[in-house]
Chain A
Amino acid sequence: MIDREQVLHVARLARLELTEEEVERMSKELSDVLGHIEKIGELDLMGVPPTTHVIEVSNALRPDEPEPSLPREIALANAPAVADGGFLVPSPQAGGE
C-alpha cells in the first residue's frame, strides 16, 4: 500500500537517498508494517481527544533573563566545515533549492 513513487517522495522529504534495492525493500517493509498499523483504523474513536502529553503541566515558562552564551570556538568546535567565524555550507541556490 506504499508504492515506489511514495517511497521516493517520502525519501525526498526526509532528505534520504535510497538505492534501487533499498527502494524496493522499503516499499515492501513499510507496506508490511503499515498493514499492522492500519488495524487502528477499525477502532471507533469518535469524540476521543488526542494525547500529546501524558503529564498535566502547562506554561513552564522561562523568565526573560540572560544566560551566558558559548564561546565561539566551542560553538564551532564540532563543525565539519568553518569559515569567517561561521558554519560553512554549500549555497542553497547551488543545491537547487
Chain B
Amino acid sequence: MTATDLTALTAAGAVAAIERGDIDAGELFEAYRAAAAEDELNAYLWVAEGRPADATTGPLSGVPLAVKDLFCTEGVPSQAGSKILEGYRPPYTASVVARLAQAGAPLLGKTNQDEFAMGSSNENSAFGPVLNPWDRTRVPGGSSGGSAAAVAAGSAPWALGTDTGGSIRQPAALCGIVGLKPTYGTVSRYGMIAFASSLDQAGPLTRDVTDAALLLRHMVGRDDRDSTSVGFPEEVATPSSERLDGIRLGVPEELTGEGSGVEPGVLAAFEATLKLAEELGATVETCRLPHAPHALAAYYVLAPAEASSNLARYDGVRYGLRVEDGGLVGMYTKTRSRGFGTEVKRRIMLGTYSLSSGYYDAYYGRAQRVRTKIAEDFHSAFERFDFVVTPTSPSVAFELGSKTADPFSMYVNDYCTVPMSLAGIPAISIPNGLSEGLPTGFQLAGPAFSENRILDAAYALEQAIGFDGTDGRTA
C-alpha cells in the first residue's frame, strides 16, 4: 500500500485493516507523520519525531491522533496558541490524551488553534492563521481550526478539539468534517488549558460519524482529577441505523428564521437535509427556544468572566513569558500585555468589567439566570422532540481578515452553537453539502447523555447525504 492509500482510510477503517494484518501500525504512523510534517495549512504547531517507544496497542491499534495545542502533553510544547506560553512543556499529560494513548492512539502532533480557544476563525493564533483546505484564502473556523483542517486535509486520521461555544462544531462545518461536542462533564477537563471552565468540553473531530463514535468511546468516563466529571451511563456504540423512522426533529424558529442571519446557501443545504430526513422516516416541525436569541449575550458575559480569572495565572512567575520592568506590577502588566493577543485582552477586559464591583448582578448574575432559562427551553423542547436541528454555522468559510475588524461580527458565528454549550447538552455537526463550493454543516442536538442516539441519527443522515470530502483532501 502507498502512503496515500494508508491515509485514505478512515480511522475505523485503519483499525480494522491493522487488526486484519493488512497494514502495519508503524507504517500508518509514519505515513501520517510525513503528511503532518509537510502540512502547508499551518495546522500543526508540533509534529512527533516518530512513534512513541511505549506506544501501547489497545483497541485503537496504534492509529495516531492529532491533539489541539491546549491539551497538556508531558515534555511536548503545549501553548494554547499563545505567545505567553511559547515553548511551554508541561510536566504532565491531560487525562483524556493519556486515556487515548492507553487505548492505542499515540500522539501524532499538536494542532494550531485560536489563542486560548478564543475565536471562530483561527486568526487569533499567536502562531499564524490556519488555512482552509477547501480554499486557502479562507479560514477553517475556530477555535479548533488546526484539528479540523488537519483531518479535512487528511494529514491526521482524527483529532481532538475543544468546544466552549462552538469551537469543535463550527470548524468541523467549515472544513466539511464531523465534529461532536459531548455532554458537559463526560470527558475529563484535567490537563485542558482552560478558557471557560463551566463550558469547555473536549470532543472528536473526524472524517465520519463512525470514527466520531469510536474516538468518543475511549474519551468518556469519570476522572477523579476533575470534580465536575461524570461517568458515561452506557457504552458508546458503533452507529448503524439506516433510517429515522419515528424520529421527531425540532427546528427552532429563533435560530433558523428571520434575524438568525443564516446565509441563503447554508439555509438551502439545511432545508435539503430536512427533506432527506423526512424521506428516512423522520418528522420535522418548528419548535421554540424563546431564550435562544439571548444565548450569545449570556455567553459573552459568562465565558469572558471565567476566562479573565482562568488567565490570571499567566503572570511571568512560574512558567511562560516574562517581561522584566523593575517592579512587580510592571513585570505583571508588561508580561501580560506582550504575551496576550488582542482578542484575549479584549475578553479579559470584558470579563473583568462584568465581574467588577457594581456590575456583577447586572451582567454575571443575569447571564447565569438566562443560562437557566435556555436549559429549560431545551428541556421542554425535548419533551416533544428527539433532537433539535440547526445549521451549524450561519455562513460557510469566510475570507481571511474579512471579520477581524468588528468583534461582534465574528461572535455571531457561534449564534447556533452557543445555546447547546450553555445548556451543557451534546451536539454534533455533520457535513451536509456545499454552498459556493464550500462545505456547510448540519447540527443535531439532543438531551444530556443522548450521544448514542445522536450518533445513530447522524449516521443515517450521513449515509443518505453521501457527502464527499475528498475535495478537501486533494485541494
Contact = CB atoms under 8 A, between A and B. Distances in A.
B230 A57 contact: yes
A53 B228 contact: yes
B257 interface: no
B88 interface: yes
Given A45-B370, A57-B227, A33 B350 contact: yes
A33 B407 contact: yes
Given A39-B297, A78-B320, A10 B349 contact: yes
B353 A2 contact: yes
B349 A14 contact: yes
Given A7-B349, A36-B408, A57 B294 contact: no
B329 A97 contact: yes
A37 interface: yes
B228 A57 contact: yes
A90 interface: yes
B473 interface: no
Interface residues of A, number: 55
Nearest to B352: A14
Interface in B408-437: 408, 411, 422-424
Contact of B296 (A22, A36, A60, A91): A36
A51 B370 CA distance: 8
Interface of A: 2, 6-7, 9-11, 13-18, 22, 26, 29-30, 32-34, 36-41, 43, 45, 48-55, 57, 60, 62, 70, 74-75, 77-81, 87, 89-92, 94-97
B318 A79 contact: yes
B333 interface: yes
A25 to B, nearest CB: 9
Given A14-B336, A26-B345, 8 more contacts: A6-B353, A15-B312, A16-B337, A33-B408, A50-B372, A77-B91, A78-B319, A90-B324
A14 B326 CA distance: 19
B366 A15 contact: no
Among A9, A29, A49, find the residue whose CB has the most chain B CB atoms closer than 10 A: A29
Among A32, A33, A53, A79, find the residue whose CB has the most chain B CB atoms closer than 10 A: A33
A37 B294 CA distance: 8
A32 B322 contact: no
B316 A80 contact: yes
A33 B328 contact: no
Interface string B84-95: 000011010000
Contacts of B247: none
B198 interface: yes
B330 A70 contact: no
B346 A26 contact: yes
B6 to A, nearest CB: 37
A19 to B, nearest CB: 9
B365 A32 contact: no
Nearest to A76: B318
B310 to A, nearest CB: 12
Nearest to A77: B91
B91 A81 contact: no
Nearest to A74: B91
A9 B345 CA distance: 14
B315 A15 contact: yes
Contacts of A91: 328
Contact of A40 (B298, B316, B336, B337): B298
Nearest to B300: A37
Q: Which 6 A-B pairs have the closest CB atoms?
A: A95-B328, A54-B424, A50-B368, A95-B327, A78-B319, A80-B322
A18 B372 CA distance: 36
25 contacts: A7-B349, A11-B349, A13-B356, A14-B336, A15-B312, A18-B337, A26-B345, A32-B408, A33-B411, A34-B353, A36-B300, A40-B294, A40-B298, A41-B362, A43-B291, A43-B373, A48-B372, A51-B369, A60-B227, A79-B317, A79-B318, A87-B318, A89-B331, A95-B327, A97-B328
Interface string B443-469: 000001000000000000000000000
Contacts of A22: 345
B224 interface: yes
Contact of A96 (B320, B329, B334): B329
A85 to B, nearest CB: 14
Contacts of A87: 317-318
